[in-house]
A and B are shown apart, each in its own frame.
Chain A
Amino acid sequence: MDTALLFDNAVVLLPELVLAVGVMVLMMVDIGRRGQNGSQLLAGLSVAILLLGIGASVMIWGRAPVEYLDGAISDGFALSVRLVILIAGVLGVLLSRNWFPAIERQGGAFYSLHLLAVIGMMLMGTATNLIVLFIALEIFSLALYILSGFYRENARSIEAAMKYFLLGAFASTFFVYGCALLYGAGGSSKFTQIHETLATGGGNPSLVLPGIALLLVGFGFKVSLVPFHMWTPDVYQGAPTPVTAFMSVGTKAAAFAGFFRLMMTALPSFHDQWAMPLAILAVLTMTVGNLTALRQSSVKRMLAYSGIAHAGNILIALVAGTAAASSAAAFYLFAYAFMNIGAFTVTIALERQYGNENDVEQSRLAGAAERFPVLAAAMAIFMLSLSGIPPLAGFFGKFLVFKAAVEAGWAWLVVIGVLNSAVSAYYYLRIVVAMYFQQPEQAGDEKEQPFVPASRSSVFVVVVSVLAVVVIGLQPGLWADLLRGLGQ
């Protein structure tokens, strides 16, 4: 092993390294501060660290991909996913800044866990080794369990953390069992090595399918595919809304990135066997997610089921299993990050208006456009984008994924996907209709409540998200070229 080369190639992990050092600095600053002072400084510092991480990612953009330390690669796909996760991280920190009662005292711990979760998520997209993949999964999962229980004054938040942790730990055991079986099948923990061994007739192929089945439970739990989705609405609703916003995007991007890389670099020779079960899961996930979302009365639960349905859409790209499909998935996740975080940000702003601590009922939205025209307009844009109405970002995400799937010969799956999009339009548009065309029930006391201005940082997040959703929608080609898939 060449030591000089080891140091040179460390740039492969530069964004992760920047964030890890950043966490140390953040913790030292937090140790140094007295009492309640300086929690705004900590927030600013975390944003700066995450921006440095984005800078580092941009710096190594376009370098020839090198596999580093037998476990990490920074190809176009890894960088695209990193960008999505880092953006979600920045927006998440900005939203959390003024949200928590406890953040004045516990801010250091909160932001450190936030940054550590981002590191774990980024590593999921980078990992080329089962061990690295598993540890990365555990880093971000563990951090998110704690973050979702951070709002200790709220019993729902503790319940969410508890549920998430117990079910998540259970899913992790399936995951690590699957890793062990794949290791037994391919004789190596490296993805490429597993592929080589199995493709040349070596190894023990009979262990591959049970291995995939067990790994599917682990990944399925993280991205909330349908038989493993039970936790999603409760955790999304109970967790502090800024954490929900970050986690809904970050977890999806990270787990899908790991899932894509594992299936497409370690097990492409088994594509015929795993594509059909995944296609069935995709159909189930989209259909159950959309149909259940129709019946939700809470905005956060509705967004949770919509997230499940979106996971089904992204899974279609994995079923297709081509390089174009993986870049379409990267684009989808990029667009999803802005529209979903945007929707949650408006929810946070509305939570403040209605004095309800951690959720908004859909019935409260009636007539919201009159009272909060800007928020309602932003929410309408996010809802239209989520339902996939052109020319917004969400449309092109769906379009690229469906196109790649048709090209790979999965036309029937795309037909079901399009039908599902039509169903989803109903509950997204219902919110828009409620805001613009319905009268509030108790008009009297609603109007008398004073207007609570949204915090500056959440205004910023809404503006950025709206701009991004519109700009990505107007210039999709630019971003589709920038975001790369596997093997591109």
Chain B
Amino acid sequence: MSWSLLFFLLVGAVSLAAALGVVTSRQPVHSALFLLTNFATLAVLYITLDAQFLAAAQVIVYAGGIVILILFVIMLIGGDTNDFSAAQRAWSRTVGMALGIILLLVISYSALSRMMAPSEDTAALLQGGTPEAVGIELFTKYILPFELVALLLLVALIGALVLGRQQEGASEGIPSVKANE
């Protein structure tokens, strides 16, 4: 067994355990922290795939930004009363698990029986995921998605303004969450 495979298995196991922790934790804050672990291990896996830029993005945006937002939301709702596990119905959990296992089996079958199709971008991948390589790919093949992301971010900016606004007539200093009731 080569060192890189051993390393991959180790990081992959941590990543998987963290992912399981996200869905099984009873405390939302614990879920968020498990998610952070999961994002960090994913970044490590990206590095082993020579995708350095993606790894940096993973750490900066997901681990640094998204998890913080998730924690904000948990704190916003109030973290103490959020044990949702009891609210799940038994049948929906069973059906969900069954569908998940079917998906897992199908994907593992296809991964084991035949390698994933060679991507048209294989040549680019082999050059490594340095920012430069990503930049050239992004600005030749993927200009359109790049522009659309700007529109998506614009929707988020306007949406934040709309959702965060104080209701008219609400007195100053009352948290807007309370003012909505």
Say whether, besides A1-B140, A105-B168, A136-B148, A206 and B158 are in contact (CB < 8 Å).
Answer: no
**Residues on B with beta carbons closer than 8 Å to the beta carbon of A193:** 120
**Residues on B with beta carbons closer than 8 Å to the beta carbon of A428:** none
Q: How close is B53's CB to chain A, nearest CB, in angstroms?
A: 17
Report the bound CA distance from A197 to B155 in whole Å: 36
B6 at the interface (CB under 8 A from A): no
Report the bound CA distance from A70 to B140 in whole Å: 10
Can you list, as one digit per residue, whether each of A97-125 has a CB less than 8 Å from chain B (1) or not (0)?
00001100110011011001001100100
Q: Are A181's CB and B140's CB within 8 A?
A: no
Q: Are A142's CB and B149's CB within 8 A?
A: no
Q: Are B152's CB and A138's CB within 8 A?
A: yes
Q: Are A204's CB and B161's CB within 8 A?
A: no
**Residues on B with beta carbons closer than 8 Å to the beta carbon of A153:** 167
Q: Are B154's CB and A204's CB within 8 A?
A: no
Report the bound CA distance from A193 to B117 in whole Å: 12
B116 at the interface (CB under 8 A from A): yes
Task: Tell me the chain B residues, 132-168 only, with Cβ under 8 Å from chain A.
Answer: 140-145, 148-149, 151-152, 154-156, 158-159, 161-163, 165, 167-168
**Residues on A with beta carbons closer than 8 Å to the beta carbon of B110:** 204, 206-207
Choice from A142, A152, A207 contacting B156 with Cβ under 8 Å: A142
**Residues on A with beta carbons closer than 8 Å to the beta carbon of B113:** 206
Say whether, besides A71-B145, A109-B161, A207-B110, A184 and B116 are in contact (CB < 8 Å).
Answer: yes
Task: Tell me the chain A residues, 9-26 only, with Cβ under 8 Å from chain B.
Answer: 20, 23
Report the bound CA distance from A20 to B180 in whole Å: 32
Q: Are B155's CB and A139's CB within 8 A?
A: yes
Q: Are B119's CB and A187's CB within 8 A?
A: yes
Q: Are B120's CB and A142's CB within 8 A?
A: no
How many residue pairs, one in A and one in B, have C-beta atoms under 8 Å apart? 105
A203 at the interface (CB under 8 A from B): yes
B103 at the interface (CB under 8 A from A): yes
Q: Are A116's CB and B151's CB within 8 A?
A: yes
User: Which residue of chain B has its CB nearest to the CB of A120?
Assistant: B151
Choice from B117, B141, B163, B165 contacting A187 with Cβ under 8 Å: B117
Q: How close is B164's CB to chain A, nearest CB, in angstroms?
A: 11
**Residues on A with beta carbons closer than 8 Å to the beta carbon of B173:** none
Report the bound CA distance from A271 to B40 in whole Å: 41
A45 at the interface (CB under 8 A from B): no
5 more CB-based (< 8 A) A-B contacts, given A116-B158, A187-B120: A20-B151, A102-B168, A112-B158, A139-B152, A188-B119
By Cβ-Cβ distance, the 4 closest A-B pairs, closest first, are A187-B117, A206-B110, A203-B117, A69-B144
